[in-house]
Amino acid sequence: MLASELQKSKYRDYLDSLPFNIISLSANRVFPRLVESLKSVLTDRMFEIQKAEIDSCFEYYSSIVSSNLYSLYTMDMSQVALKSVIERADLVHIKEVWEVQHMSTNSTSTNYVVLLKDHLHICIWLLLFSEGIVCQHFFQIMLKSNNAIFSVSLIKSYWYQRNTGLDNVDALFSHSGVSNETMM
């Protein structure tokens, strides 16, 4: 119980530190069914946090990385992380690699999102692994790539409302709306 409260406190601090207003309607306009689905499954606080991640995706731009550039060695920390992800994922499982940067003029930070053939993804920011929610970098890719598929089941189940049935979390979403495919 205490660990759960600590996580909630950590997320409140994180949300308070975000440089944007979570009341934005951008996510509602671009991903209306996805937002509806999240609202019906996630706790109120986690819905606010996940929606804030979606809203902030509009502050980024992205470009696909050519497959012949995957193996470049560099000292840039994000590219070293990308190289590590690619080595562990194996090239045969990778569908696309995207470079994502913030639009601010003084930002030099680059993140990479690897889209896998099984509809999963890995962002080197690792918010999905560390906190159990999907980051803004992935949603930026959803705006551009038909291969970026979102499922509520990507989000850790401990953020779900009590008594949430699995049928509420198995829908897949792409930038064009709901997909009829099933995960894996």
Q: What is the pLDDT along the chain (184 residues), one digit of tens a residue?
A: 455 566 666 766 776 666 655 446 788 889 999 999 999 999 999 999 999 999 999 999 999 998 766 555 455 667 777 777 777 777 788 899 999 999 876 777 889 999 999 989 999 888 998 899 999 999 999 999 999 999 999 999 899 998 887 666 777 888 755 444 443 3
Residue 49's nearest CA partner among 108, 161, 122, 131 is: 131
pTM of the prediction?
0.77
Residue 94 contacts by C-beta under 8 Å, 6 or more apart in sequence? 70, 86, 114, 115, 116, 117
Residue 1 is encoded by which pair of tokens?
């119980």
In this structure, the dihedral spanned by the alpha carbons of residues 149, 151, 155 and 159, taken in order and rounded to 10 degrees, is 150
DSSP character at residue 42: B
Q: Are 141 and 123 in contact (CB under 8 A)?
A: no
Q: At what angle do helices 44-56 and 32-41 cross, to 10 degrees?
A: 150
List the chain domain ranges. 2-174
